[in-house]
Each structure stands twice: as structure tokens, then as C-alpha cells.
Structure 1
């Protein structure tokens, strides 16, 4: 696995430079041309190590990396919501967890809207 770290690191850094591939809330994600450019850049990275790589390989690689990342993220979130103390919060063991954490930016930007005015006092009877 250590021999793949430089490849995966470069792959994820290239992936990060193409928000059209990972940021669903961005307008660029709707641009098919930008998505294809991102896939092409990732394909170049893959072909340096895997000569037979094609776009299907790139898409599978993205899916695999994100799936494993999402499992780790869910463990972290679950440990936070179970009322665990700070010492019991799950620490991700996935070595590229921090490298892929940028993909959660589009999800963490969700803002809740209150139906109550800020000046309204709640009265419980």
C-alpha cells in the first residue's frame, strides 16, 4: 500500500483542483465540458502508473476512494452524535482522510432556516 501513496496523493490533489467532479452544489458541476476536463486530467495521472487506465478506471477509482472516505466520515459523525465524550470520538485511521475532507465542504454549507423571528419569545404552557 505504501507504494500507492504517492499515486493516490497526486490523484486526490488533481481531483481537488476540479470541483466540477465533486462539488454538486456548484454551478461548475453542471458543466459537462469541465467535468470531462477533470476526468482527462485524472486519466493522465492514472496512466503514469497504470498504462491501461481509461475513463471507467478513473470513475471507479473516484468511487472507491470516496466510498471508503464516507465510511470513515460516518464513523466520526456517529461517534459525535452518540453523546460520547471528547475522548471517545472516533479518530479516522484512513491515511488519506484529510486529503479528501474537502469533499464535505459542499455538504457542511447547508444552512437551516428558522421559521421563528429572532425577537420572538417562546412561551410554554
Structure 2
């Protein structure tokens, strides 16, 4: 795009910016309206894309800050020349072609720290918040497998005693059995554990494959 067209787009961009007081006027009713600001920002980005196809909110912010900084610099020179008591002919004349278009910002300037600086920082924070905020992102449900792995990893980090080692060895042997034998083994183990918790185990508590002959 040639410079003439770029200048025309920039002129329209400034007009559009002026039409959204929520972005620059502290006393605007919508100054703290985040939804209104977001709509305004999106409109400005669309306009800026007419001369910069890669424009986004960040580049839009840089463009606004650049325009306002240049205007502020020239505005201060004009004000300084008035205060110096210079004659009408000696009043500083800004070189910016868009200086007159940005005069709507002059009431936002004040001694010390300018209001425009405050507005730019607010605008920047709004953009940063919008960029960092998840867009309709739903909270992902926990993966059971992942949770199990985390639990196992945590368990492995803990020191093992003899019972842990013995149980792991039994688990290995249990997996070698066919399903029916596993059921028998689990039943026997559960009964032994129960008796042990009751304190009734003794040396002859377990009998394996003992033939029982019924008597008449």
C-alpha cells in the first residue's frame, strides 16, 4: 500500500479512536466497561489491518502509543511557547500532519503525570488481560491413568519395608497363575490375613491340600 493510502487509513484510524471515548477519556461512562473496550479494540485492529495485514492488538497498542507520544511532545512545545510570552507569529507550529486531528486529547493532559499516560497503561493492561485470559476454555477432566501413574510414582518415592517387598513378590507369583487358581489363592490369603488381624494364627493354622476322609 502506498503512503497516500496509508495516511488515509491512519486518518480514519484516528477518527475511529476518537469515536471510542472508553479508550481515552477517563470521565467516559464506559471507561471501566471491559466489554465496550474490547469491542473498540477489535474495531481499531480491523482498521489497522487495511494498511498492515499482520496487525493485532499488540501492534494496535504500539500505534496508539506512538501517535499519542508524538502528539504530547508537540503539544508541550506549543504550550511552552504560549507560556514564554511569545507573540502570535512566534507560537510553535507543530509539524505533525495529524496534530489537529488529535486535539481531542488535549484535555486529557495535565501537569506532572499526564492523564494520557494513565489511559495508555490502562489500555495496555486491558489488552494484556484479554490476551492472557483463556478463551472459553473448559477445565480438562483429570485423566484416571495419569492420576494412577502419579500415585504410583509417589508411592515409589516412599521408603519400602519388608512387607512392601514381600507383597510385590507375591503379586508377581499371583500373576503367573490361571484365573481360577488366582481366586483360590486370594481366598486363602484373605482368610489368613483375617485370622492374623484377629490374633488367632498359630503354627498349624494353614493346611494345604489335606485330604479329608469322612468317617462313618
For normalisation by structure 2, the TM-score amounts to 0.47
Q: Following the alignment from structure 1 to structure 2, what is the Cα–Cα distance between the partners of residues 105 and 70?
A: 11
Q: Following the alignment from structure 2 to structure 1, what is the Cα–Cα distance between the partners of residues 109 and 65?
A: 17
Secondary structure at the aligned position of 2:62 is classed as helix
> Which one has a bigger Cα radius of gyration?
2
Q: Which runs of 5+ in 1 are unaligned?
A: 109-125
Question: 2:121 — aligned with what?
Answer: none
Q: Which has the higher contact order (CA 8 A, sep 6+)?
A: 1
**Kept after mapping to 1: 8 A contact 2:21/2:31:** yes
**Kept after mapping to 2: 8 A contact 1:25/1:106:** no
Question: 1:46 — aligned with what?
Answer: 48
User: Which residue of the other structure, out of 36, 39, 64, is the alignment partner of 1:37?
Assistant: 39
Q: How does 1:67-106 map to 2 (within 5 A)?
A: 67-106=69-108
**Kept after mapping to 2: 8 A contact 1:76/1:92:** yes
**Kept after mapping to 2: 8 A contact 1:20/1:26:** yes
- How many residues get paired? 108
**Kept after mapping to 1: 8 A contact 2:10/2:48:** no
CA distances 1:60-112 after superposition (whole Å, capped 9, x unpaired)? 1000000001011000000000111222111111100011111123458xxxx
Greater CA drift, 2-11 or 72-81: 2-11
Q: Following the alignment from structure 1 to structure 2, what is the Cα–Cα distance between the partners of residues 92 and 64?
A: 16
**Kept after mapping to 1: 8 A contact 2:71/2:102:** yes
CA distances 1:18-50 after superposition (whole Å, capped 9, x unpaired)? 001111232321111111111100011011221
Q: Following the alignment from structure 1 to structure 2, what is the Cα–Cα distance between the partners of residues 48 and 5?
A: 11
Q: Following the alignment from structure 2 to structure 1, what is the Cα–Cα distance between the partners of residues 50 and 74?
A: 29
**Kept after mapping to 1: 8 A contact 2:30/2:36:** yes
Regions of 4+ moved over 2 Å: 1-4, 105-108
Q: Following the alignment from structure 1 to structure 2, what is the Cα–Cα distance between the partners of residues 27 and 37?
A: 15
RMSD: 1.6
Question: 1:5 — aligned with what?
Answer: 7
Q: Following the alignment from structure 1 to structure 2, what is the Cα–Cα distance between the partners of residues 95 and 9?
A: 10
Question: 1:117 — aligned with what?
Answer: none
Secondary structure at the aligned position of 1:30 is classed as coil
Question: 2:19 — aligned with what?
Answer: 17
